[in-house]
Structure formats: C-alpha cells, structure tokens
Structure 1
C-alpha cells in the first residue's frame, strides 16, 4: 500500500476514534455508573432510596372510629397532607397510602412505621437506559454497542511501533483475555 494512502487511512482511523469517543463519552459514563449500581443490586437498591421512620402515637389519638379526620391528623404527624387511600388490615391498625409513601399505624402498641420511597438521583435514570426500559431505546443501544466495537477497533491502531498493537499492545490484549477466562473456569468448576 502506498505511504500516502496509508497516511490517509491512519488519519481517518484517528478521526473516527476521536469523534466517536467524544460523541459517546457521556453515554459510556452513564452505562458505567449503571453497571456499577446493578452489579451490587444485592447490597443496595440502585433505583430507589427507601426511608423508614418509627413514629410514637399518643394515646389521645386512639380512634373511636377510623375516619377522615383521624387519617388527616395522622398524615400531619408525618408531613403528608393528601392521602390516596387507607385500609384497616386488622382491628386496631390502619395503613395509609400517599404518593410514594405509606404509614402503617398500630393503635394497640401506639406505634407507626412511615416509609417513603424516592428515586435515587442519576442511578434511577441511568438504569432505565441500561435495562432498555425506555421505549425505543433498544435500537439506539444497539447502535451504541456497534459504536463501542468500532471505538475499540479504531483505538487498537492509534499508536505505532513498540507502543502499538505490534509491540506491547498485543501482550496487553492477551492479558485482557485472562480475567474472563479465569472467571469462566471458576464458574464451570463450582
């Protein structure tokens, strides 16, 4: 191949790598954050923050009947003004449902448990994309996957000589195969 053609091809490779890298850089970070969160789903809830608070109920609030005024006064105790619905699961108890919260009150023990659910910032949104929960996103995710392959391939040919693929690059590529091979063998043996 003539040197001039090789130089043009090399420049095109570098420009493609650079431009795809810039274009997809934010999405790469989003997928990495989401991947970290989803890897540890057994340790924490990557989508929601669930806050529980134990509440003492005064004896003065013991109901003659469970009605709207009682439900409203219980709501004020936990900073909720508008309930969706309430029910009486068993005698002496009431469970009140709010937007993204609930309050379970036990009048026999004079206690209540207020539970609020909030979306975990950044992680909730990034997980929507990582799990393909957004309608139509799958097609863009496929484009992104192909672009990552292209980014990888173009990156292999950026450096030349002893620092490039023909030099130490081939050894790093070979070393990169080791973790999946080792973990696959461990998986198969267990």
Structure 2
C-alpha cells in the first residue's frame, strides 16, 4: 500500500515538474540564447571592433522661442513644449519632457540609447541647436539589451520576468535531477562540478 502511495506521489511530482520545466524553457528559450550569445560578445568586446557612425544636425531657434530660454533660475528641467517641437521638426530629436542641464550659456539634453548615444545642445544666447547621434551598430545594441543599458522600464521588467523564468527552469531541473539521480550515478558529481568549477576559478584567477 505504501509503495503505491509513494509511486502515486512520485508520478504527481514528476508530472508537474516536467510541465513547469518545459513551460519555463519555452518562455525563456529565445532570450536565453540571445543572452548567452551577447555574454560571449561582451566578454570579447575588445576583439570585436566596431566603427561608430556619427550624424549631426543643426538649426537655429527663432527669436520668439529663444526668449523662452531666458529664465535664469533653471538648473534641471525640460525645455518649453514649443521649443521641443521646433527642435524635433528641424533635427528629428525628441526632447519633449526630458530634463536638460541648464548652464549660463546653454541647455544640454542627453539622449542615451541602446547601441549608441545622442545629445542636443541649445545655445541660450544665439539660439543655435546642435543635435548629434552616435550609432555603434547592431552588436552594441544587443549588448546593451543584455546589460539593460538605457532600455527603459518595459525592458527592465521583461528582464526581471525572464530571470524568474530561468530560476523556475533551473529549480525544476534540479528537482528532476534529484528524482532521477538513483538511475544516473554521475548526476551529483556533475552538479558538484558545475558549482565548484566557477568558484575555484573565481578564487584563483579573479583578483
């Protein structure tokens, strides 16, 4: 009777562990492959050279809009909507709602992005607008997705959910290993090797 109960319990757990294992692997498969590849490219970033492409655009604010930059008390605030619309129409830069660094002679708006960088500078005396973008290529773009660099809240939430799916995948895999270990004698030595090897490398070679 007890053997029957044990077999029933084992079958129950095997069924559910297999289900969560394949569900979590299906959810994380493509992104796990992407993160593995970009982990390799990040580790060899010095050997994988890229030539950044820089583009510059310029415009000049009309006098009516230039007067809206005359407020001497601003230190970190967005430019007025009319100024932002003008900059967007003339240069393509989207600075609406973005805080700028206000100094005595200019307003500088940083526009960081995955795989590159950008900024807009507005001269508070002459109204000259400079917009510069730097594109470091698709590989840098994927590397920045890996790091979550300048990717916004939606991508950060996605990384968190993906990490949770990987934890479920690893945990269910470990439990499945435990349940099958009796028929596979090398199970725990290999698990121990996977734990000990990076620990030894870190202790011996990372200073």
TM-score, with structure 1 as normaliser: 0.54
Q: Deviation at 1:34?
A: 1.1
Which of 28, 35, 41 does residue 39 from structure 2 map onto?
35
Select between 175-184 and 24-33 the one with higher mean Cα deviation.
Answer: 175-184
The runs of 4+ residues in structure 1 deviating greater than 3 Å are: 48-51, 82-85, 117-121
| Cα contact 1:162–1:168 (8 A) shared by 2 | no
Distance 1:154 1:170 in 2: 15
Q: How many residues align?
A: 123
Q: Deviation at 1:147?
A: 1.7
Which of 119, 124, 130 does residue 140 from structure 2 map onto?
124
Unpaired runs of 5+ residues, structure 2, are: 59-115, 117-133
Distance 1:6 1:83 in 2: 65
Distance 1:11 1:34 in 2: 34
Which of 159, 162, 175 does residue 183 from structure 2 map onto?
162
| 1:84-99 correspondence to structure 2 within 5 Å | 84=57
- Report SS of the residue matched to 2:48: coil
Distance 1:153 1:29 in 2: 19
Unpaired runs of 5+ residues, structure 1, are: 52-81, 86-99, 101-116
- Report SS of the residue matched to 2:47: coil
Larger Rg, first or second structure (1 or 2): 1
- Report SS of the residue matched to 2:176: coil
- Report SS of the residue matched to 1:128: helix
Does the alignment pair 1:145 with 2:163? yes
| Cα contact 2:27–2:165 (8 A) shared by 1 | no
Measured against aligned partners, the alpha-carbon deviations of 1:47-91 in whole angstroms (never above 9, x if no partner) come to x4458xxxxxxxxxxxxxxxxxxxxxxxxxxxxxx9746xxxxxx
Distance 1:83 1:148 in 2: 42
- Report SS of the residue matched to 1:158: helix
Q: Deviation at 1:41?
A: 1.9
Q: Deviation at 1:153?
A: 1.6
Measured on the aligned residues, the alpha-carbon RMSD in Å equals 2.8
| Cα contact 2:52–2:137 (8 A) shared by 1 | no
Name the structure 1 match of 2:24. Answer: 20
